Amino acid sequence: MESVPVRCPACQREHLYAPPVYPCACGAPLVPPLMRDATPEPITRRTWNDDWVSVRCLSCERRDQWPQPELGCPCGAVLRMLVHPVDGAAPTAEGGPVAGGGPDGSRPAHIPLPRTATAARPSFRPVTIRTARDAVTAAAMYLRWLGFHDVVQPEARPVSGIDLRGAGVVAQVDSSTRATGLRAVECLWLNGLSASAQSVFFSLAGYADDARARADRLGIPLFVMDLTGCPQPVNAPADELITIGT
C-alpha cells in the first residue's frame, strides 16, 4: 500500500500517511481513495456523518460506509483525510440501504466484531472496586471484554502512569477522588503514540472539561467507573470502541 505525503495545516509538519485497509464482504481488501491534492481538514468537532465515508469496492462494486480516514499529528491536531466521493446511495449487496450506522451508535452491518469474537459479546461482568488495584483490575477485564485479550498489569505502577498494556493498547486508570486533568490525558496520548497503540482512559471521578475536550480532539476513549466496576463511555471515541471493538 502506497503512503502519501501529508502536511499538517496547523504546524506544517510533514507526514507519510498510509490509508487504512478495510475487509469488503466479498473478501477483497478495500482502500479508501484519498484525494491526494486536497488539504486535510483539522477536526474541531465530530458528527456521525463526518466520521463515516462511502467507499466502493473495486472487485465487486459494493458500496459501504467505513470509518473516515484520520491522521493524528504530534502537535495535537487530528486531521480528516479527504476521500473521493462515491455518487448515489450506498446500497448493500442486496441493493438496499446500508444497515446500521445511524446516529444512535448502532454498528454498521459490515463492521466486524473483535477478531477473537465469533458472536455478539456476552454481558460484561464487573468486579467490585474497593481499592485502587481493584480499579485497575476492572479496567483490564473490560479491555479484555472489548477484545484486547493480552492486556497485562505491571506489579508496580510505572513512572509513566500507564497501568495496562497489551498488543495495540495502553490504558491509564485514575482512582483518585478528583476529576482527571488535561496533563494526564496528554501524557497517555504521548505514550500511545510512541507505542503505536490505542490509548484508553478510565477514571472514577470523571474528567475536567479541558481534559475531555482534548481527548475528543485526539480520539482518546474516555470511560468513568463507579464502585460496581462497570465502565461507562463518556465521549464519542469510547462509544466507537465499544461498538466496533478491536
pLDDT digits (tens, 9 = 90+) for 52-103: 788 888 888 888 877 778 888 777 788 888 888 876 433 333 333 333 333 3
Q: Please check the confidence at residue 27 and state whether its pLDDT lies above 90.
A: no
* C-alpha cell recorded at residue 78: 487530528
Of the candidate ranges 51-55, 58-62, 125-129, 230-234, the one whose mean pLDDT is the lowest: 51-55
What's the mean pLDDT in 31-41? 84
Of the candidate ranges 50-54, 143-147, 192-196, the one whose mean pLDDT is the lowest: 50-54
Q: What is the pLDDT of residue 126?
A: 85
Q: Please check the confidence at residue 156 and state whether its pLDDT lies above 60.
A: yes
Say whether 142 sits in a helix, a strand or coil: helix
Which of 136, 128, 132 lies closest to 227, judged by CA? 128
Q: How far is CA 5 from CA 9, 17, 218, in A?
A: 13, 6, 21
Q: How far is CA 86 from CA 1, 54, 176, in A?
A: 21, 6, 48
Q: Please check the confidence at residue 51 and state whether its pLDDT lies above 80.
A: no
User: What is the spatial distance between Cα 179 and Cα 111, in angstroms, rounded to a whole number?
Assistant: 34
In contact, 72 and 78? CB cutoff 8 Å: yes
More confident residue, 48 or 227: 227
b (16+ CB within 10 A) / e for 111-143: beeeeeeeeeeeeeebbebeeeebbbbbbbbbb
Q: What is the largest CA-CA distance in the chain?
A: 55
User: What is the spatial distance between Cα 128 and Cα 52, in angstroms, rounded to a whole number?
Assistant: 37
* CA atoms within 13 Å, Cβ hemisphere of 42: 12
